[in-house]
């Protein structure tokens, strides 16, 4: 049995943004990567009225033992892509948690002195990396860079799995965007 998972901490990540920003997909990649490391995972998307109002969010739970409730009211991490989601979810993050803010679209502070707040210009970094559409992977990268929840190569493998087949052309820009995000996350931490 691989002993690596036991070294990693349990966490819950809420990713939120507009529909089309790829929050659900980035969450799936995080869940996929964690699963490949032998961890228990759940990926619970919003599919209700809030989604129809234009926002989409997903809660990814990562644990070393079977996950009880996949529904988390107070997550340890928030990756937030747009302002409505910041206003809605920032107050819910557990004290001591981490909030990754999409600086390209959000000019407001989450006002959480008890959390680590990391602001990332995701669109600009994604464009530099080759695809403006990969801003979601910049955000995921910033989270990984800031927390080391999952090893980077595991995420990169999961991106490759996600875009297997006729979507393979998305792998390179997504990985590049992810790496740019990791760098941004690291820098803001040190």
Partner 1 sequence: MSKVLMKGNEALGEAAIRAGCVHFFGYPITPQTEVPEYLVKRLPEVGGAFVQAESEVAAINMVYGAAGVGIKCMTSSSSPGISLMAEGMSYLAACELPCVVINIMRAGPGLGGILPSQSDYFQATRGHGHGDYELIVLAPASVQEAVDLMTLAFELTEKYRNPVMVCADGMIGQMMEPVEFSGKGRGEPYKENDWELTGNKGRPRRIVNSLFLAPEQLFQHNIHLKEKYDRIHRDEMRWELYGGETPYDLLVVAFGTMARICKTAIDEVRREGLRVALFRPITLNPFPTTACREAMDAMGESGRVLTVEMNMGQMVHDVRYAAAESRRVEFYGTAGGIVPSPDQVADEIRGRIARRTESHSERVRELMPDAIWMGTGLCAEAQGDGVPCAGTDGTCDTCGKALPAGGQAASRAL
- State which of residues 6, 20, 64, 69 lies at the interface with partner 1 (CB under 8 A): 69
Strand partners for 13: 60, 77
Instruction: Supply the minimum distance, in Å, between the C-beta of residue 65 and partner 1.
Output: 10
Which range in 63-71, 81-89, 112-120, 143-151 contacts partner 1 by CB under 8 A? 63-71
Residues 6+ apart with CB under 8 A from 186: 145, 146
Which range in 28-36, 77-85, 95-103, 130-138 contacts partner 1 by CB under 8 A? 28-36
DSSP 162: H
- State which of residues 4, 73, 109, 168 lies at the interface with partner 1 (CB under 8 A): 73
Nearer to partner 1, 45 or 151 (CB): 45
Phi then psi dihedrals of residue 40, to 5 deg: -80, 135
The 3-state DSSP class for residue 11 equals strand
Residue 157 CA from chain centroid, whole number: 16
Sign of CA dihedral 108, 134, 33, 157: negative
Which residue shows structure tokens 């990756």? Answer: 79
Q: Which of the residues 31 through 50 are near partner 1 (CB under 8 A)?
A: 31-32, 35, 40-45, 47-49
Kindly state whether residue 155 participates in binding partner 1, applying the rule CB under 8 A: no
Nearer to partner 1, 94 or 116 (CB): 94
What residues make contact with partner 1 under the rule CB under 8 A? 28, 31-32, 35, 40-45, 47-49, 67-73
């Amino acid at each position: 049995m691989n002993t690596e998972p036991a070294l990693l901490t349990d966490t819950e990540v809420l990713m939120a943004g507009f529909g089309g920003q790829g929050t659900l997909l980035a969450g799936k990649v995080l869940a996929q990567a964690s699963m490949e490391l032998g961890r228990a995972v759940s990926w619970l998307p919003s599919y209700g009225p809030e989604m129809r109002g234009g926002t989409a969010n997903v809660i990814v739970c990562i644990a070393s033992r079977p996950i009880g409730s996949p529904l988390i009211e107070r997550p340890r991490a928030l990756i937030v892509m747009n302002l409505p989601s910041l206003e809605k979810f920032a107050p819910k993050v557990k004290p001591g948690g981490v909030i990754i803010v999409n600086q390209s679209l959000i000019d407001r502070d989450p006002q959480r002195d008890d959390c680590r707040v990391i602001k990332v210009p995701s669109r600009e970094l994604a464009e530099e990396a080759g695809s403006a559409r990969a801003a979601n992977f910049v955000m995921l990268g910033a989270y990984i860079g800031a927390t080391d929840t999952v090893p980077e190569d595991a995420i990169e493998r999961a991106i490759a799995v996600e875009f297997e087949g006729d979507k393979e052309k998305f792998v390179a820009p997504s990985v590049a965007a992810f790496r740019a995000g990791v760098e941004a996350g690291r820098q803001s931490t040190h």
